Amino acid sequence: MPRPEDTFGARLRKAMDTRGPLCVGIDPHAALLGAWSLPDSVAGLERFALTVVEALADRIAVLKPQSSFFERFGSAGIAVLERTIAEARAAGALVILDAKRGDIGSTVEAYADAYLDPSSPLFADAVTVSPYLGFGALEPFLGAAERNGCGVFVLAFTSNPEGASVQRAVTPDGTAVGAAILAQAAERNGTAVPMGPVGAVIGATLTDPIPFDLASLNGALLAPGLGAQGATPQDLRAVFGDALANVVPSMSREVLRHGPDVPVLRRVARQAVKDCRIALGYAFPDH
């Protein structure tokens, strides 16, 4: 088991306290490659991803590559993803691999081996997962995260409007499905300090109240939806309330559309960090 200071919760807390509370997605979809005047090819993918790493990995707390945009190029794209993860982590950023995996039995064990085993070329600090085959089916992910000092982010109340039909559906005891998932995640985190390994994805664009005390999760709250999807850092307080200290605001297009110029990407990201610090009530100065 990792030392207390090497757990995901401790490493994430340190990264946000020193670099600021911001996650930048690496989403090299075809339109964005075109906006950077790059070809929609493996070469364009590599240039895009490694430019983001060069610009931000030594100063942003978290980078979040979206696996699908690499997978669409087959094995060559996966090779770029491996290099992106490794170089980002080497530069000091924590990497959340946005893969949203979910399955049962030996399949989940294989996914956990792929993303949360230090011997894997796809090893990341954390991975996003879908709990909708049952929270208990995530056990291989959870066990690997605890053993290896990694994190798991469960989809709870997501920003896409279709999600509400499942996440806000009510269980026989009257609990919303998403809230039941958060309750199980909170139980797994227990009293870990400063945060447990199980985080949750909560959309920053949400307007309906979340039927769960997010502060009781004792885990990180990944908040996508800032920027292109319409949410602003100022919206975070309304969504997350007393849990602001554990929020990881996530931007992708709002930052990436300013590339490929590295100094410009850094300037935009620096302003985003400042805006999130102010919105979340961080007291320490900008770096």
Q: Note the pLDDT of residue 64.
A: 98
Q: Note the pLDDT of residue 283.
A: 64
Strands 23-26 and 151-157: unpaired
How confident is the model over 145-196, as pLDDT tens digits?
A: 999 999 999 999 998 989 999 999 999 999 999 999 999 999 999 999 999 9
- Stretch 63-79: mean pLDDT: 98
Across 18-22, 47-51, 150-154, 228-232, least confident range: 228-232
The rounded mean pLDDT for the chain is: 96
Kindly indicate the confidence band of residue 287, based on its pLDDT and cuts at 50, 70 and 90.
very low
Q: Note the pLDDT of residue 286.
A: 47
As a whole number of angstroms, the distance between CA 89 and CA 14 comes to 15
End-to-end CA distance of the chain: 33
Cβ-based neighbour number of residue 47 at 10 Å: 18
- Stretch 77-87: mean pLDDT: 98
What residues act catalytically?
A: 100
Kindly indicate the confidence band of residue 227, based on its pLDDT and cuts at 50, 70 and 90.
confident
> Residues 6 or more apart from 56 whose CB is under 8 A from it?
24, 63, 93, 265, 266, 269
Q: Identify the three-state secondary structure at position 27.
A: coil
Token pair recorded at residue 119:
């011997």
As a whole number of angstroms, the distance between CA 197 and CA 255 comes to 27
Kindly indicate the confidence band of residue 229, based on its pLDDT and cuts at 50, 70 and 90.
confident
Q: Tell me which residue has tokens 């090893």.
A: 123
Q: Note the pLDDT of residue 106.
A: 97
How confident is the model over 124-137, as pLDDT tens digits?
A: 999 999 999 999 99
* Residues 234, 239, 243, 247, Cα dihedral to 10°: -60
Question: Model's pTM, two decimal places?
Answer: 0.97
